[in-house]
Amino acid sequence: MEVILKKNVDNLGYVNEMVTVKPGYGRNFLIPQGYAILATASAKKAHAEIMKQKSHKDSKILAEAQELGTKLEGTSVKIVTKAGEKGKIFGSVNTIQLSEALKAEGIEIDRKSLKIKEEPIREVGSYEATANLHKEVKATFSFEVVGE
Intervals of CATH 3.40.5.10 along the chain: 2-65
Q: How far is 67 from 98, CA to CA, in rounded Å? A: 20
The model scores a pTM over 0.75? no
- Tens digits of residue pLDDT in 90-102: 888 888 888 888 8
Q: How far is 138 from 20, CA to CA, in rounded Å? A: 34
| Amino acid 46: pLDDT | 92
For residues 35 and 5, the answer to whether their CB atoms sit within 8 Å is yes
Intervals of CATH 3.10.430.100 along the chain: 68-147
Beta bridge partners of 143: 77, 127
Q: How far is 22 from 13, CA to CA, in rounded Å? A: 14
Q: How far is 75 from 91, CA to CA, in rounded Å? A: 25
| Amino acid 59: pLDDT | 83
| Amino acid 76: pLDDT | 82
Q: Where are the beta strands (DSSP E) in 29-73?
A: 36-38
Distant-in-sequence, close-in-space partners of 61: CB < 8 Å, separation ≥ 6: 134
Best CA proximity match to 82, nearest among 145, 143, 148 = 148
Q: What is the CATH number of domain 68-147?
A: 3.10.430.100
| Amino acid 44: pLDDT | 93
Residue ranges, the chain, pLDDT below 50: none
Beta bridge partners of 61: none
Distant-in-sequence, close-in-space partners of 122: CB < 8 Å, separation ≥ 6: 88, 89, 91, 92, 93
Q: At 48, give phi and psi (nearest 5°).
A: -60, -40
| 2-65: CATH superfamily | Ribosomal protein L9, N-terminal domain (3.40.5.10)
